[in-house]
Homo-oligomer: A and B are copies of this chain.
Amino acid sequence: MTGIALLTVPTADPGDTHAFQVLTESGYRADDLVSVIGKTEGNGCVNDFSRGLAAAIWEPRIPEAAVTVFSGGTEGVLSPHVNLFVRDEKRYPGFDRGLVAAARRSRSLDPAEIGRAAQIDTVTETVAKLLAELGVTPGDVHLVLVKCPLLTSDTITALHTAGQVPVATDTYASMGFSRAASSLGIAVALGECDRETALSALAGEADVWSARASASAGAELDDCHILVVAESPTAANPLRAVHGHMTDAIDLASVQQLLSRIAAEGGTVRQIFAKAEADPTGSVRGLRHTMLTDSDINATRHARGAVGGLLAGLKGDGAVYVSGGAEHQGPPGGGSITVIYELPTPDRNEAP
């Protein structure tokens, strides 16, 4: 088990490491880092070097076993920040359970494997290992975050030269296939569908999704970085999580429902992890959107901007983790959503 604390720290730019100071001031050490989950301010697409810069700065400074996930794109009111998942085994008085988390890198994927069965399997296996490590069951899990590779012009050409067929010849499109495979790998690992169904879904012939999957792709890595967040009786801390999904990009009601559950427990929202996408039908509740016909701004940027506006309004600040491209992460046009919150210390709650 790995009880955790969560620190959310704004960043002045993708290379800003002020968060280490906050870490220290909060009584933790870099060695305690389980995972760094950041929103950086690039385009969130193929040529997003804000992610690469953040990775270049952070990777040498964190433990070997820790993983980074940098998701590009802080459109609109979204604010660049990092979420530090820190090992905190302390047993907070008055709590008999708490959030735990573990992270791992998968093996490297060959470009020919990206967006295909091999990626599904690799993610499934790695998530399974993480569940075992944490000693939790799929039912305890609230969030599985994956950063996975994409195809560039170079890798596509190399595949062609080798007589192999890439999953996509468009680099931006390859991001979607990679996210899809990762998410289906999560769904299999969490027992939400079997491998066969996942393969059908990847082929576009089955509709499967996980409300706990959050995958983003990047050119800055060739393996998968995976973080699992779960609730466990082996820990004792005030952090809790709820998860659910938005049925479309304006599904205020579903989010309010999650927030109401938290409010009912007297909890304080600490962070929202949400996926967003342009509804593939080209409309939301019967009204046309233009995200998929806009050749100036990619659809994932539009989706983050819109859902980010809604969630930042609800959270009261822009340091929300909204990631674009929600293939099999919530229903089509919607997205998975996990809210991490903090319970009040019991003595505050109970009458004397």
Contacts and interface: CB of A to CB of B under 8 A. Distances in A.
28 contacts: A12-B154, A12-B288, A41-B47, A41-B290, A43-B295, A46-B293, A49-B49, A49-B52, A52-B53, A76-B289, A76-B291, A76-B302, A77-B284, A79-B283, A79-B288, A153-B282, A153-B283, A153-B288, A157-B283, A169-B280, A250-B317, A284-B318, A285-B317, A295-B298, A302-B305, A306-B306, A306-B308, A308-B309
A98 interface: no
This chain: how many copies in the complex?
4
A57 interface: yes
Nearest to A153: B282
B250 A306 contact: no
A173 B293 CA distance: 11
Interface in A154-174: 154, 156-157, 160, 169-173
B314 A289 contact: no
Contact of A157 (B49, B52, B281): B281
A39 to B, nearest CB: 10
Interface of A: 10, 12-15, 40-43, 45-50, 52-53, 56-57, 74-81, 152-154, 156-157, 160, 169-173, 219, 249-252, 280-298, 301-303, 305-310, 312-314, 316-319
Contact of A309 (B249, B280, B298): B249
A323 to B, nearest CB: 15
Contacts of A302: 75-76, 305
A54 B74 CA distance: 22
Contacts of A294: 41, 46-47
B219 A13 contact: yes
Nearest to A41: B290
Contact of A56 (B56, B284, B312): B56
Nearest to A156: B282
A171 B75 contact: no
Nearest to A312: B250
Q: Kindly name the residue among A172, A290, A292 whose own CB sees the greatest number of chain B CB atoms within 10 A.
A: A290
B154 A305 contact: no
A4 B317 CA distance: 39
B283 A75 contact: no
Given A288-B10, A295-B172, A316 B76 contact: no
A41 B152 CA distance: 14
A252 B313 contact: yes
A215 B250 CA distance: 26
Given A154-B288, A295-B46, A76 B318 contact: no
Given A252-B314, A308-B306, A312-B306, A289 B74 contact: yes
B10 A75 contact: no
Q: Which 5 A-B pairs have the closest CB atoms?
A: A153-B282, A76-B306, A45-B295, A309-B309, A305-B305
